[in-house]
Amino acid sequence: MKSIPNLQDYKIELIQILSNTKDVELLKESLRKLFLEVLKNNSYMSLPEFKIVPTESLQFSVWYQDPDAITETLRIHQEKCDLYLWRCTDEKWYLDDLYNNASEITEQILARIPIFHKIPENPKEVKALLESGLMDFKPEIFPIFSKNKPNDLNEVLTWDDRFLLVGTKVENLKIYSLTEWDMLIEREDFYKKVGQL
């Protein structure tokens, strides 16, 4: 899998959001819009979950001793990644009680959000992403990795020059080599013809 190639191009915009946004609800919406922009060429990827949680509920698990934190915290969750952003009376955003500099927070967000670094390069990776929930099941916009189409595209979700991914939902995904797929289609065609005799 690869990272989004122009990810660092969004660093300035993310720093501006952190510097100019004072409200946690506005931060949530601004980050969500920015993430959609980052993923515009990979819109089949699932956005992280953005949730506002009571800051007090995070005491001793995320932050430890800052009594001046505002009452609400933005939780960004995806896969095994949890990021927590809150403001304090010093008017700064804090990330995970470790960072309070907008540039450092930006670097952490861009480095740690899984979907920014798991762009698929073949059908096997698409399958893994679908099964992990990092990709939405939207076959009409799945990436295709080869210009050479398989002989039969029935239930084929994506392909490259060696393999293809077949299925109608996440629960029945299967990888076939192109040779295996051609043999399966030949058998199906044979049985259809025999059944019509």
Give the tens place of pLDDT for each residue, 164-192.
999 999 999 999 999 999 998 888 777 66
**pLDDT for the residue numbered 196:** 61
The arithmetic mean of pLDDT across residues 95-100, rounded, is 85
| More confident site: 88 or 93 | 93
**pLDDT for the residue numbered 57:** 74
**Residue 41: is its pLDDT beyond 80?**
yes
Band of residue 91 on the pLDDT scale cut at 50, 70, 90: confident
Q: Which run of H or of E encompasses 86?
A: strand 81-87
The arithmetic mean of pLDDT across residues 32-39, rounded, is 96
CA atoms within 13 A on the CB side of 73: 24
**pLDDT for the residue numbered 20:** 94
- What is the pTM (predicted TM-score) of this model? 0.84
**pLDDT for the residue numbered 86:** 87
Q: Where are the domains of the chain?
A: 7-117, 123-196
- As given in the structure block, the two tokens for residue 72 are 């609400």
- Closest by CA to 88, choosing from 73, 104, 109, 107, is 73
The span from the CA of 174 to the CA of 154, in Å, is: 13
